[in-house]
Amino acid sequence: METHGRPAEVARFNFLANLNRHLSGVLGAGNRLAWETRVLPAFVAAEGRPPRDRFEVRRAMNRDPYHRFWSALRRNSMEMRQQNGRSMVLRQAAALAARAEALNAGQVYVVLNRLEKADLVTSERVGQADRPGLGDRVGLPGALL
């Protein structure tokens, strides 16, 4: 079973990690410059006071073109990281499930699932008054549950 990324996936993760570092460090510093030179002076000129809280700061910063550009880059880099991780997991899902089942051998739900697959027991999802939507009943095939 392949439990690591393929070379292209590893390269993609390395690229995305370095992109994220660049966005946070080098380009992220531009937000301070935008705040100090454009956003704060414009806010004080319009409101006659500095922002009261982080919510006013965020609303003011979200109108700044540099901050919006930086935010879009950050969001896209996060989505790319998620997509890359998701594709690796989906490619390995069956092998990972088999490995997890082997690690959990002997655990009660694993044993019950195997017995159910072999038609040695049946199960039914039932609600519980204090925990709606939860609960299992297990019994012999043909038995009233």
- 89 and 116 share one domain: no
> What are the b/e assignments for 87-118, b being 16+ CB within 10 Å?
ebeeebeeeeeeeeeeeeeeeeeeeeeeeeee
- 19 and 87 share one domain: yes
Span 4-9, average pLDDT: 81
pLDDT digits (tens, 9 = 90+) for 53-103: 999 999 999 999 999 999 999 999 999 999 988 888 888 888 888 887 777
Q: State the pLDDT at residue 145.
A: 44
Q: Is 57 left (phi over 0), alpha (psi -120 to 50) or beta?
A: alpha
- 5 and 30 share one domain: yes
Residue 130 pLDDT > 60, yes or no? yes
Residue 108 pLDDT > 80, yes or no? no
For the chain, the domain total comes to: 2
- 123 and 57 share one domain: no
Quote the domain boundaries for residue 66: 1-96
